[in-house]
């Protein structure tokens, strides 16, 4: 047999014990993209409180939810937002689809997407539409508190209504939301942007004014002087405030129809006792607005931030290739509203579950799963202990879960077809810490009786409502605005 020199003649079989210890290389830890946040379970009560209130209030005003894609053709935003805006100039995540060369963009806002969808599906063919949406938006901004690269908006769009009634309705809807969320003080500012002709007249006057004061303009302003002088009014540069404050205002150029629309909005708001301030400098960052614009401003973490902005965008449908259809809407920044809710401490985390099932006996896993299902059939939220663990560590988990009661399955319980109940929280007739044994068949009734009694004593308590809703949804008042879910503690 020819020998192969590249291999040892008599290879020694490798002994596991003799093998050199392989260095353990940990895979690189990956992190989320800067400015794009994970939303962890600890924040979920806040998100749910906001989402529930929004869904209930939109329903109360007759707005229907629409879900549009997160990715749209880049053209939609260039046309729909305006090429000379902060968003389109520098904030869009745009890319070429390498499979077919299409120019695409992660949506930086959703009015353009909703209007595109309304045109595409003829949504306003036979009647006007009230629509709302929520979801992530993407803007390549410098991340800081209250400003992220992936953030969330809730928005409403009323399509096919000329206003001013629907303008006021949208503002009132926002106010109802701030009240439902217990946000504290939120200030309303409004303005009227007139129509295209009026803005053109104002624009010429502005250009003339800023040209006469060229030396006081910063780089951004100089660049915008002829492309978008209106945006100069929106400057955040303190050195330009005096100049901007003395600039000609659009109100001096409004004609009869625009003035009447603006007065209409104001009268409706006054009739509803809705306080507002007219801010003649309010322009909004997007090009498509006309007539009414409004912003809600609130103290968020020590500074004043706009939490919601909106207004009328009558020209947009035509700009996107549809038939002329008036539109009015708003978008609110979810993260900024959540920050206010955090400050107001208006939402307390609800317990993870109503019942925690603790078990340790031969064959108790099977029974524990069955007990869990029976309790859930009755509308209760149940965690069944999974995995190993003695009673002590299981009870620790039960306490941490916030459950009102622990159902215990030990050797004795399994043998006698009973369960032990340990009440972890006080109810109307039971002290915390009390323990009792009940037959397996009575268990559900005993627990439901206690927890429903407890719910009766609470305003807005979740337990009894959860039971009613879960067992008979038809009895729920469809107009009811769900309260923020509060803890039973």
Q: Footprint of ligand ATP on this chain (CB under 6 A)?
A: 109, 139, 141, 146-148, 151, 153, 285, 306-309, 331, 333, 335-336
Q: Of the two residues 313 and 395, which places its CB atom closer to ligand ATP in the complex?
A: 313
Q: Of the two residues 235 and 427, which places its CB atom closer to ligand ATP in the complex?
A: 235
Q: Look up residue 321 and give its two tokens.
A: 């290739």
Residue tagged 């809703």 (tokens): 469
Residue tagged 């915008």 (tokens): 224
Q: Look up residue 312 and give its two tokens.
A: 């009328």
Q: Of the two residues 306 and 364, which places its CB atom closer to ligand ATP in the complex?
A: 306
On whether the CB atoms of residues 154 and 170 are closer than 8 A, the answer is no
Q: Could you tell me the smallest distance in angstroms from the CB atom of residue 156 to ligand ATP?
A: 12
Q: Of the two residues 106 and 357, which places its CB atom closer to ligand ATP in the complex?
A: 106
Q: Could you tell me the smallest distance in angstroms from the CB atom of residue 51 to ligand ATP?
A: 16
Q: Could you tell me the smallest distance in angstroms from the CB atom of residue 372 to ligand ATP?
A: 40
Q: Of the two residues 146 and 280, which places its CB atom closer to ligand ATP in the complex?
A: 146
Q: Could you tell me the smallest distance in angstroms from the CB atom of residue 414 to ligand ATP?
A: 54
Cis geometry, peptide bond prior to residue 164 (ω within 30 degrees of 0): yes
The residue among 257, 296, 261 whose CA lies nearest residue 276 is 296
Q: Could you tell me the smallest distance in angstroms from the CB atom of residue 216 to ligand ATP?
A: 22
Q: What angle do CA 80, 292, 321 make, to 5 degrees?
A: 25
Radius of gyration of the chain (CA): 31
Q: Of the two residues 146 and 315, which places its CB atom closer to ligand ATP in the complex?
A: 146
Residue 374: C-alpha distances to residues 138, 379, 443 (Å): 44, 9, 9
| Spatial distance between the Cα atoms of 346 and 484, rounded to a whole number of angstroms | 8
Q: Could you tell me the smallest distance in angstroms from the CB atom of residue 476 to ligand ATP?
A: 32
Beta-bridge partner residues of 330: 156, 310
Residue tagged 């014990």 (tokens): 17
| Spatial distance between the Cα atoms of 489 and 486, rounded to a whole number of angstroms | 9
Percent helix, percent strand, percent coil in the chain, to nearest 5? 40, 20, 40
Q: Could you tell me the smallest distance in angstroms from the CB atom of residue 462 to ligand ATP?
A: 29
As a three-state string, the secondary structure of 20-84 is CCCCCCCCCCCCCCCCECCCCHHHHHHHHHHHHHHHHHHHHCCCEECCCCCEEEHHHHHHHHCCC
On whether the CB atoms of residues 286 and 79 are closer than 8 A, the answer is no
Q: Of the two residues 124 and 150, which places its CB atom closer to ligand ATP in the complex?
A: 150
Q: Of the two residues 110 and 124, which places its CB atom closer to ligand ATP in the complex?
A: 110
Q: Of the two residues 319 and 458, which places its CB atom closer to ligand ATP in the complex?
A: 319
Q: Could you tell me the smallest distance in angstroms from the CB atom of residue 93 to ligand ATP?
A: 12
User: Strands of 435-439's sheet, edge to edge?
Assistant: 382-384, 355-359, 405-409, 418-423, 435-439
Other Cβ atoms closer than 10 A to 320:
18
Q: Of the two residues 244 and 352, which places its CB atom closer to ligand ATP in the complex?
A: 244
Q: Could you tell me the smallest distance in angstroms from the CB atom of residue 147 to ligand ATP?
A: 4
The residue among 330, 310, 52 whose CA lies nearest residue 181 is 52
Q: Of the two residues 147 and 223, which places its CB atom closer to ligand ATP in the complex?
A: 147
Among all residues, whose Cβ is closest to ligand ATP?
333
Q: Could you tell me the smallest distance in angstroms from the CB atom of residue 265 to ligand ATP?
A: 19
Tell whether the torsion through CA atoms of 283, 289, 292 and 293 is positive or negative. Answer: negative
């Amino acid at each position: 047999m020819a020998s192969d020199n590249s291999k040892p003649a008599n290879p020694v079989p490798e002994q596991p014990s003799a093998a050199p210890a392989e260095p353990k290389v940990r895979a690189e830890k990956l992190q989320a993209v800067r400015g794009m946040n994970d939303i962890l379970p600890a924040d979920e009560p806040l998100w749910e409180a906001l989402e529930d209130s929004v869904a209930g209030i939109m329903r109360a005003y007759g707005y229907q939810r629409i879900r549009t894609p997160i990715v749209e053709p880049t053209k939609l935003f260039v046309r729909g937002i305006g090429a000379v805006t902060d968003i389109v100039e520098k904030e869009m995540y745009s890319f070429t689809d390498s499979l077919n060369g299409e120019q695409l963009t992660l949506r930086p806002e959703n009015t353009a997407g909703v209007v595109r969808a309304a045109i595409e599906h003829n949504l306003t063919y036979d009647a006007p539409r009230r629509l709302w949406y929520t979801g992530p938006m993407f803007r390549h901004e410098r991340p800081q508190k209250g400003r992220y690269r992936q953030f969330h908006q809730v928005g409403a769009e009323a399509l096919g209504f000329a206003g001013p009634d629907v303008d006021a309705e949208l503002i009132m809807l926002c106010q109802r939301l701030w009240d439902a969320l217990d946000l504290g003080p939120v200030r309303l500012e409004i303005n009227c942007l007139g129509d295209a002709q009026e803005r053109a007249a104002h624009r010429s006057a502005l250009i003339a004014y800023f040209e006469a004061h060229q030396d006081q303009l910063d780089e951004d302003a100089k660049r915008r002087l002829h492309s978008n002088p209106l945006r100069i009014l929106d400057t955040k540069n303190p050195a330009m405030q005096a100049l901007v404050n003395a600039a000609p205002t659009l109100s001096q150029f409004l004609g009869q129809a625009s003035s009447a629309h603006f007065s209409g909005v104001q009268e409706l708001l006054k009739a509803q006792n809705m306080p507002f301030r007219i801010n003649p400098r309010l322009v909004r960052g997007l090009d498509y607005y006309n007539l009414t614009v409004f912003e809600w401003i609130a103290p968020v973490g020590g500074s004043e931030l706009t939490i919601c902005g909106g207004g009328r965008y009558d020209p947009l449908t035509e700009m996107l290739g549809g038939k002329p259809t008036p539109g009015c809407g708003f978008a609110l920044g979810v993260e900024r509203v959540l920050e206010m809710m955090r400050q107001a401490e208006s939402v307390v985390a609800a317990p993870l579950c109503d019942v925690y099932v603790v078990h340790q006996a031969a064959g108790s896993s099977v029974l524990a799963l069955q007990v869990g299902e029976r309790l859930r059939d009755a509308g209760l939220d149940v965690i069944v202990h999974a995995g190993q663990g003695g009673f002590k560590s299981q009870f620790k988990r039960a306490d941490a879960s916030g459950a009102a009661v622990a159902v215990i399955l030990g050797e004795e319980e399994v043998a006698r077809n009973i369960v032990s109940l340990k009440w972890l929280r006080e109810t109307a007739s039971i002290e915390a810490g009390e323990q009792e044994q009940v037959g397996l068949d009575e268990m559900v009734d005993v627990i439901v009786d206690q927890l429903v009694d407890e719910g009766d004593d609470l305003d807005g308590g979740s337990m009894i409502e959860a039971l009613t809703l879960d067992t008979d949804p038809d009895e729920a008042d469809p107009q009811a605005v769900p309260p923020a879910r509060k803890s039973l503690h």
